[in-house]
Structure 1
Amino acid sequence: MPSVFFSYSHIDEALRDQLEKQLAMLKRQGVIETWHDRRIGAGQDIHASIDDHINTDDIILLLVSADFIASDYCYDIEMQRAMERHERNEAIVIPVILRACDWHSAPFGKLNAVPRDGKPITQWTDIDEAMLQVAKAVREASARFMSNPVTEVRSQSPQRPADIDRTGLRSSNMRLTKTFTQREKDQFKLDTFEYIARFFENSLSELGERNRGYEGVFRRIDANRFFATIYRDGKDVARGTVYIGGDVWGRGICYVEGETTASNSTNESLSVESDDQTLYLKSMGMASFGGSREQKLSQEGAAELLWGILIGRLQNSSY
């Protein structure tokens, strides 16, 4: 059974946990086994344990983010060793792009990254779909490894010592159900609104640079509301308001077509929800350019959804 090693920054531990959930079926079916540094027992040598696995595991997942690249240990030690083994056909290295960063010029930039087209997981509207693509890639890599094991080359690689201390062996399944307070949910909503505001401001600016004759204008009204307007040759062709809800939609982030200071109407609404591990956003699925109610949206996914409503009519019309 191929063993899978997670190389990641601890900043991205929550995303690693989500990914390991998606690999659960492969583990149940005996397709793979997994290991990461949270399985190191008390009193064990951390670096020796990691070296043992990075030198012998069959599939190595590089969970790529700016923090991964900035980490001397992840980049200079784990990644470099993984690529050496990949080049010698001792292991299969799969770059998993978690968050947007400058990764294409890295040594692993030549490899086929997942999710599809190397689009960062946090930029997907549906994070579960992105994670599923990674799981499918791992299943395919496992099948490829089992059908063509590189036993000769692997025999030359460092072996796990026969007298390794087994007392620290334990499951990596240590997740317990997390609960989130209303204070944490409210803060997540505020943080998400600020993220969406910055996302719109930057996107409106870039829109004009990329499309001749178009101009995007961002206007922040107050702490809980902003207007977004797109002009073509001086004529307004799209207007939208994003606000934290009022009397009716007070627990969500709302989008309404046009510019309004009212808080009693919406074309789309995002609510803060939680599962047993994370906070996420859920679309009401009210707008024709909106998302599915079943999707678990990240902050980037939520911003993309609302931006898609604003620009969607221009992409699907004769404007």
Structure 2
Amino acid sequence: MMSNDLESQLVDQPIKAFVSYSQKDEKYLTEFSAHMRPLLRLKQVVVWDDRAIDVGDEWEECIYRELDEADIVICLVSSDFIASDFCYEKELDRALDAHRKGQKVVVPVLLRSCFWKELPLSKLGWTPRQWITSHENRDEAWTEVVTKLRKIILDIKK
């Protein structure tokens, strides 16, 4: 049985999140990152994406390391995400395998409208009411995403 101090320290540790996205959707990643700032400021989550790779680093090695260490994998779903062999066949396959084993949670964020309902991502449960870019008020759409992610984070911490 865990001591209360140790249990409290673990609960206070931020969850690690990995963001998988097509580089063609980088402007939406920037919006997402801004909306995630409150959870970062509350030290509930640390968010990583490939923009954190330093010049000279082995980019693929960095991505796999961060993906493997993540508690949550957030997929910004668009036609470009699905078209990307690296996003879909490397990152997503690895993440879904860990998800099936109960090692991490994969969360699709419906970014731009595309055909996706028959893909494995569509079976993961939660999806917002509509695509981020189709929402009349994108701030509200991102707020809905962050609110759901906060609930997932709190569930993981328990």
TM-score normalised to structure 1 length:
0.45
**Percent of counterpart pairs with the same letter?**
34
Secondary structure at the counterpart of residue 69 of structure 2: coil
AA aligned to 1:132 is T
- Structure with a larger share of its residues in strand: 1
| Cross-structure match for 1:120 | 131
Cα distance in 2 between the residues matched to 1:34 and 1:114: 20
AA paired with 1:129? E
Distance 1:12 1:92 in 2: 22
What are the superposed Cα offsets for residues 275-313 of structure 1, whole Å, 9 maximum, x if unpaired? xxxxxxxxxxxxxxxxxxxxxxxxxxxxxxxxxxxxxxx
Structure 2 residue aligned with 1:244: none
Structure 1, residues 47-76: CA drift from partner, whole Å, max 9, x if none?
A: 000000111200110100000000000000
Aligned to 1:4, the other structure's residue is in SS state strand
Does the CA contact (< 8 Å) of 1:4 and 1:60 recur in 2? yes
CA shift, 1:137, in A, is 1.2
Residue 65 (structure 1) aligned with residue 60 (structure 2): no
Structure 1 unaligned regions, length at least 5: 148-319
Choose the corresponding residue for 1:21, options 18, 29, 34: 34
Instruction: Give the letter for the 1:135 counterpart.
Output: V
Between the aligned partners of 1:97 and 1:145, the Cα distance in structure 2 is: 22
Alpha-carbon distance, 1:114 to partner: 3.1
The yes-or-no answer on 1:102 pairing with 2:102 is no
Q: Following the alignment from structure 2 to structure 1, what is the Cα–Cα distance between the partners of residues 148 and 99?
A: 16
Please provide the CA RMSD for this pair: 0.8
CA distance in 1, matches of 2:39, 2:127: 17
**Which entry has the higher C-alpha Rg, 1 or 2?**
1
* CA shift for structure 1 position 113: 3.7
Distance in 1 (alpha carbons) for counterparts of 2:133 and 2:121? 20
What residue is the counterpart of 1:83 in the other structure? 96
Distance in structure 2 (CA, Å) of the matches to 1:92 and 1:144? 11
Structure showing the higher helix proportion among its residues: 2
8 Å contact kept, 1:4–1:57: yes
Tell me the equivalent position of 2:9.
none
Question: Please, which runs of 5 or more residues in structure 2 have no aligned partner?
Answer: 1-13
Q: Give a deviation string over 1:8-64, Cα, whole Å, max 9, x none.
A: 000100001101111100000001001000000111000000000111200110100
For 1:121 and 1:113, locate their aligned partners in 2 and report how far apart those are by CA, in whole Å.
Answer: 14
Aligned residues: 145
State the distance in 2 between where 1:108 and 1:80 align. 10
Separation in structure 2 between the aligned mates of residue 115 and residue 15 of structure 1, nearest angstrom: 16
Contact 1:63 1:95 in 2 (8 A): yes
Task: State the distance in 2 between where 1:4 and 1:75 align.
Answer: 18
What's 2:148 paired with?
137
**Aligned position for 2:24:** 11
Residues 8 and 64, structure 1, Cα contact 8 Å, conserved in 2: yes
The residue number in structure 2 matching 1:54 is 67
CA distance in 2, matches of 1:22, 1:68: 20
Matched, 1:30 2:81: no
Secondary structure of 2:116's aligned partner: coil
